[in-house]
Amino acid sequence: MRLINVRTYHLETFDSKPPEYAILSHRWREEEILFQDIEDGKDILARKGYAKFLDSCRRASKDGFGYIWIDTCCIDKSSSAELSEAINSMYHWYKNSALCYAYLDDVCDPVVVRDRAWASALVRSEWFTRGWTLQELIAPRHVQFYTRDWSLIGSKVTLAHALTIVTRIPIPVLCHGLSSSRLCIAQIMSWAANRVTTRVEDQAYSLMGIFGVFMPILYGEGKHAFSRLQLEIMRTSNDQSIFAWDTQRLTGGVLADSPSFFTGLNDVRIMDPVDFIRGYVPGGEMPDRSYTVTNSGIRICLPIVPYVLPQYPSHQYVQATLACCRSHSIEPLKITLLRVDGRYERAQLRTPEDAIVREPRLEVLNLAYEGGGEETGLTLDHPERSFEFHRANILSHGFVRCCVVPEEATWAGQRLCMRSSGESSAWHAVITYVSDTLDASFQLVVGCHSGEQWVHIVCNNDRIGGALPSSDVEAWTDYSWGVFERMWGERRAMAARMKETWVVGPSKYHRLISRVHIPGTMMDVVLFCDGEDRPRQYAVKVDVEKCFGPSSCSADPRMYQMWATRTPHHFNVVCGHSGCYQNCHEHCAAKSVYNPAQLACEVFGGLERETILGTSSICLQCGHLRSSHSYEQWVWRLGPEIHRSSGATNTASMSN
């Protein structure tokens, strides 16, 4: 192990027990000080990373340490053998350090440490988004956080409540380490679900120390590294939650492709073996809880319920019960498996009502840890239909994809795929987007009927529970199922409407399908679609924009072009929707904020515009016009034969 002498700035090697040392956790930037730079000593002062190197040494010296370890320069990365050894040892190096400095170089303002407020500011730091920093947070006993100018923010213990909000890591783990809690594999994986690494292999390598496994480092193997990690974990653990990840494909192996598959599983826990056997194992038999990993698959004993679909009698499905559950439930998690060539693969399928269910039994299964090539899902014999999504401004307004129903709809990157049972089939899926920032939501519904694909936006006022956060996936899933059921009888009409839209449009590409207002905001959801030349794959663009005015939400979906002409006109508010108007009135009454220099052009984002004369009063909170002056008239021309004007004046009063 190499350490930096904080007085001489030279590297020293310790083969046996090293002296007490500090350690640095940071985000790599340009021109870091590398091993060769310290060895050669050439132009080291000119490198951008030298200031961080120097400040780290000085901080350690002030705290009474003679040595510090920094990953950029204490590892000779030109040696593959040394790099492999270092990666396998890194967790222990952080764990054995006397103090870890977490340097947040993108946090420069004074930080007020008050749980959620602080967590909101902290979450924007890149340090909390990187894969390697997860073990650097968990492993050391003592961690101190510093801003860009090396001002102390606080320690891991004093900031524990805020850190658990940001990272989802339980407070006992933050304060006392992994051994303090009975953790399951799925829960630990979920902590890394939203973290990123520069190299795809590092998604696995950065987790080896946390799970206590050792593997050869093989850069170039891609996502196979994460499969190797899971197999190594199975050699030392019989925790079945490793199979509890959320399937994002129709069928495939039982191993997840990346930590992202474990998103939202931070509340999974291992079930008590006695309770599990008593309640869910047929006959109360004691199953063999050990795994056997071979070249052909993973042999494991699980309670299963076989079933057959009448339309596919040759397909052998089973629902397997795992010895794990959610923390708020005693019901064990279940996965659906499909027998393919003598092995069982994961299948994304709920047990249909018309399924022929067999007697439950305990059985030794041979699980495929890699898929068998071609996807073989619910409708193996029929072509795949898919929608490719482009989310233009959704993320900038805080909208996140909360849930998708039914489970047969699967994601592959930005594509939503579903198997249909032929040209006469009918199916649809509901994708729910939620914005905690706007306290708003909408559902994007996609489907197929008689060979015609269609898309639709649902945006209602009937919010469940008032202001449900996007994190309440279970409640939003239930709500989405309600939308799914309401749209069941509308599929034929939706397909006919979509077909008519294609016919009337002048262009083959980028058609405006619908524009729907989001209640309680001054935003619209805009839906474009492109796909006539690719009949089995539609490109769908979903955008969130400021609403254009009284006519925007009532526009016919066939209206596909819009532009403005300018003529002097009087009007009072730029948006005629009662929800927008009420919100603006409340903002203005509460804030009494307006700026005469701001003109109406600020409201009409995305359209060509110009103010004709005078000044205006624009609410800085929501952008609404607060007094009547002369402005340009906005005319929406949405098609060659349709001419719609915003000439009607809203007579409602908005007092200053």
In the chain, the domains with their CATH numbers are 2-181 (no CATH), 251-367 (no CATH), 384-546 (2.60.270.20), 568-645 (no CATH)
By mean pLDDT, which of 18-27, 130-139, 321-330 is the weakest? 321-330
Separation of alpha carbons 616 and 614, rounded Å: 7
Looking at mean pLDDT, say which of 103-117, 347-361, 427-441 comes out highest.
Answer: 427-441
Residue among 309, 331, 333, 357 at smallest CA distance from 242: 333
- Is pLDDT of 440 > 70? yes
Separation of alpha carbons 289 and 293, rounded Å: 13
Within 8 A by CB and 6+ apart from 17, the residues are none
- Is pLDDT of 520 > 80? no
Handedness of CA 470, 473, 479, 482 (dihedral sign): positive
Three-state DSSP state, 606: coil
If you count DSSP H runs as helices and E runs as strands, how many of each does the chain have, helices first? Answer: 15, 32
pLDDT of residue 239: 92
pLDDT of residue 139: 96
pLDDT of residue 414: 54
- Using pLDDT thresholds of 50, 70 and 90, give the confidence band for residue 571: very low
| pLDDT tens-place string over residues 199-219 | 999 999 999 999 999 999 999
Separation of alpha carbons 287 and 240, rounded Å: 13
CB 466 within 8 A of CB 440: no
- Is pLDDT of 591 > 80? no
Q: What is the pTM of this model?
A: 0.59
Three-state DSSP state, 454: strand
Within 8 A by CB and 6+ apart from 298, the residues are 234, 254, 291, 292, 366, 367, 369
For the residues 493-499, what does the mean pLDDT come to?
76
- Is pLDDT of 249 > 80? no
| pLDDT tens-place string over residues 376-403 | 222 222 234 556 555 555 666 678 888 8
By mean pLDDT, which of 18-22, 278-282, 581-585 is the weakest? 581-585
- Is pLDDT of 617 > 80? no
pLDDT of residue 188: 97
How many of the other CB atoms lie within 10 Å of CB of 41? 11
pLDDT of residue 291: 80
- Using pLDDT thresholds of 50, 70 and 90, give the confidence band for residue 328: confident
Question: Rg for the chain (alpha carbons), in Å?
Answer: 29
Q: CA of 626: how far to CAs of 289, 518, 549, 632, in Å?
A: 69, 21, 15, 16
